[in-house]
A = this chain, B = another copy of it.
Amino acid sequence: MATKLSRKLNMGMVGGGPGAFIGDVHVKAAQFDGGVDLVAGCFSQDPGKSKQRGKELFLRPSRVYASPLEMIRGERALPEGERIDFAAIVTPNNSHYAISRDFLNAGFHVVCDKPMTLTLDEARKLQALVKSRPRQVFALTHNYTGYPMVKLARDLVRAGRIGRLLKVVVQYPQGWLIDRIEKQGAKQAVWRTDPKQSGKAGCMGDIGTHAANLAEYITGLKIVEVMADLGIVRAGRRLDDDGNCLIHFNNGVRGLLFASQVCVGELNGLRINIYGEDGSLFWRQEDPNDLPVYNRDGTVTTYRRGTGAIPPLSPAAAAASRLPFGHPEAFYEAFANIYRNACATMRARIEGRKPSAIELDFPNVDDGLRGMQFIETVVQGSRLKRWLRWVN
């Protein structure tokens, strides 16, 4: 019989050294709801930096490691309840696979940043490994699906609120790579523009995958065909920094997807329009608490995020929301929702109970594989300058 786990989960981190952007987001998001303690880490390949970061985070020095393998050994030596329950992997793409594999093989749950691996082949192998270890959780931080109003959008589509789907337009413009800041050593930019660390795609891998994942998440459809037009806007780069795609979903739904990192003045402009036979909906990451739904009669019904007794939000959207209406939640809280569900599922596994549908609502290894297939499809297709069936 299941026994409720009466302690916080213990988290270890790989990557996320001093000054890292996404590593710190993981730290805050994981601990946001008070159910997780960061207790160990290997924050950098440079042991000095790793120690420095461990100190900033008030970790015990004995739990700060010089390499992932050392960390695995060290943590396995500790008793359950003290050792980490899961590892969060926030390194550049090229080490995601090996580190995930090793932690999984050592029996730990894993939360990994996206894109999931460096290559499609690695992704397939990781999927097989995860499928072979059904009691361990593998979560991927496609964090935008953690937003409550994204969940509401999905649930409205599922419930038929906007009828049969007809068209999808998903846009993801950013502007932070307008200059070649990788040449000035900007950490993020250096590895994201380097094929050895990032893989075959730049912009399309970093944010195009988010756009595709969001579209599939909300619509419940799958992209089946793509006509891609990737480009290198800033001369000298080796990976795309901008890309436009025509897309076909199953069920004959047509759409557009674009992502760019050279759109000056666009910040983190992920937005999506979903058009259906009986209505349409629109969501924008920079204004995440509102969800306008366009009605057939010309009016617009705007749903607004918030807890409370009033019915409008779906159960999943309500569960993903902590504050009452009008008290905005944003990026961290959405990210924390991925962790909350993934950790609830870990708890279920530890406690020996079946996780609920809401607990299982986090991106997993299948989403990760689709992301790698998306990258492969758009890169090949753009080279061939023609429509390409989804690469499996």
Contact = CB atoms under 8 A, between A and B. Distances in A.
A21 B324 contact: yes
B311 A297 contact: yes
A275 B264 contact: yes
Given A258-B256, A330-B328, A301 B301 contact: yes
A174 B280 CA distance: 12
B242 A300 contact: no
Contact of A265 (B8, B264, B295): B295
Contacts of A276: 264
A312 B295 CA distance: 11
A328 B286 contact: yes
Contacts of A298: 265, 267, 303-304, 306, 308, 310, 312, 325
B167 A242 contact: yes
A102 interface: no
Interface in A240-278: 242, 244-246, 254-256, 258, 260, 262-269, 273, 275-278
Interface centre among A55, A176, A227, A303 (most CB of B within 10 A): A227
Contacts of A224: none
Nearest to A254: B231
A263 B297 contact: no
A386 B275 CA distance: 25
A183 interface: no
B312 A297 contact: yes
Contact of A25 (B242, B292, B323, B326): B323
A387 B385 contact: yes
Contacts of A332: 322-323, 329, 332-333
Contacts of A256: 244, 256, 258
A341 B175 CA distance: 32
A333 B331 CA distance: 10
A38 B8 CA distance: 13
Interface stretch (A28-36, A107-115, A358-366): A28-36
A374 to B, nearest CB: 17
Contact of A28 (B8, B32, B176): B32
A27 interface: yes
Contacts of A333: 330, 332
Interface string A318-361: 00001111111111110000000000000000000000000000
A40 interface: no
A288 interface: yes
A296 interface: yes
A334 to B, nearest CB: 9
A294 interface: yes
A303 B310 CA distance: 22
A221 interface: no
Given A264-B277, A275-B263, A34 B57 contact: yes
A287 interface: yes
Given A28-B32, A167-B263, A298-B325, 8 more contacts: A28-B34, A34-B58, A244-B256, A263-B280, A264-B275, A265-B280, A265-B296, A288-B328
27 contacts: A21-B324, A35-B58, A166-B242, A166-B263, A167-B233, A167-B262, A174-B326, A175-B294, A244-B255, A256-B258, A260-B275, A263-B273, A263-B275, A264-B277, A264-B295, A265-B298, A267-B324, A268-B327, A286-B326, A288-B328, A289-B330, A296-B310, A297-B310, A298-B310, A299-B304, A329-B331, A329-B332
Ranked nearest first, the 5 interchain pairs of A and B with the lowest CB-CB distance are: A265-B294, A267-B326, A268-B326, A328-B330, A330-B330
